[in-house]
Amino acid sequence: MSVFSLICSILLVAMSKTPSTAAPAPSGLLVGREFTYSMRPGDSLASVGSRFGVDPPVLARQNGLSMRATIPVGRVLRVDNRHIVPAILEDGILINVPQRLLFYFESGRLVAWYPVGMGRADWQTPRGHFFIATKEEDPVWDVPRSIQEEMRREGKKVETHVPPGPRNPLGAYWMGLTPSDCGIHGTTAPTSVYRFQTHGCIRLHPDDVADLFRRVSIGTPVEVVYRPVLAARLEDGSSWLESHPDVYRTDKQPLKILDALEVATAGRAFAREAIRKREGIAARIPSADAGESPGAAATPTPGLPQTADAAAAPRTRRLP
């Protein structure tokens, strides 16, 4: 074991805690916004959803479309990609598996966030505390034996090494995690981002992984959590809820988050329905105040940063 790996192992033991059944404290930060996007050649609901962090069926419902609809170039879509930041780190990377989002912090400030692809239900992304142990450009994919066995079972050609290029599923960048065989990497299939399709690794759009790669260094801490239901209370006093499918089937008390928010009776029915629907978009919980509509947009505040320009192609999310 290298000195770096030994130090990481000691730190992980020191950081470990007994799991708590209490709901996490509400966040105080949202990212994303409501905007419009004009379809371009080659676009689809899947590609737009994966780029902005919205499930394609939700994007279809937002626009009154069928999932099978052929959307013409120039058609303007309404996109709502507001998400709750699960927690604030001093430095490093926070990944929430059900949310399929990666958040990068510096000096206690969120500076970038990206949609990511996560491990399948039968090949889960490991959760816990990790560190970036390696950084590689144009990596060679050394195919793990477990994946070689899967290739064999499926009747595919068994490969042990895949050189850099269009056939390499790691894309152009690799950031290996310790203690784990998994890593954060790019992809040659951008529409696979924001899905549960990997063998446990964290997959980013090519533009996003290039941006993240230049930001991080060896030793950057990485925390991977599993929170299907998230809550936030912003500076203006508004309460927000975001609910995702429990893909790994580990969330036994999804309604417990309402206790942490101290939701009034007027908002509990809305919150329960939002948790049941699990659309994966942050929605404002109505208060007892008359005339407030469920899911209404909050007045812009420092807690509600903007994302990509509505007229621009999807880009890395950089906060002010």
pLDDT in tens, 91-116: 999 999 999 999 999 999 999 999 99
Query: What torsion, rounded to 10 degrees, do the Cα atoms 121, 117, 280, 25 define?
Result: 90
pLDDT of the residue at 129:
97
- Position 289 confidence tier, pLDDT thresholds 50, 70, 90: low
Better-scored residue on pLDDT, 65 or 269: 65
pLDDT in tens, 161-205: 999 999 999 999 999 999 888 999 999 999 999 999 999 999 999
**pLDDT exceeding 70 applies to what percent of the chain?**
79
Better-scored residue on pLDDT, 310 or 176: 176
Locate CATH 2.40.440.10 in the chain. 118-221
CATH of domain 118-221: 2.40.440.10
Give yes or no for a cis peptide into 179 (omega within 30° of 0). yes
- Position 296 confidence tier, pLDDT thresholds 50, 70, 90: very low
* Strand partners for 106: 109
pLDDT in tens, 200-220: 999 999 999 999 999 999 999
**pLDDT exceeding 90 applies to what percent of the chain?**
63
Token pair 């880009």 in the structure block, residue: 315
DSSP E strands in the chain: the ranges are: 30-31, 34-38, 76-80, 83-84, 92-96, 101-106, 109-119, 128-137, 141-142, 161-162, 173-178, 183-185, 196-198, 202-204, 221-225, 229-233, 239-243, 283-285, 317-318
pTM above 0.95, yes or no: no
* DSSP assignment of 82-106: -EE-----SSEEEEETTTTEEEEEE
The answer to which of 38-42, 94-98, 134-138, 265-269 has the lowest mean pLDDT is 265-269
Q: What is the mean pLDDT of the chain?
A: 83
Contact 261, 239 (CB under 8 A): yes
pLDDT in tens, 127-164: 999 999 999 999 998 988 889 999 999 999 988 899 99
Better-scored residue on pLDDT, 262 or 131: 131
pLDDT (mean) for 65-94: 96
The answer to which of 77-86, 108-117, 277-286, 304-313 has the lowest mean pLDDT is 304-313
- Position 265 confidence tier, pLDDT thresholds 50, 70, 90: low
pLDDT (mean) for 242-256: 85
Contact 5, 54 (CB under 8 A): no
User: pLDDT at residue 233 above 60?
Assistant: yes
pLDDT of the residue at 98:
97
Contacts of 7 (CB under 8 A, 6+ apart): none
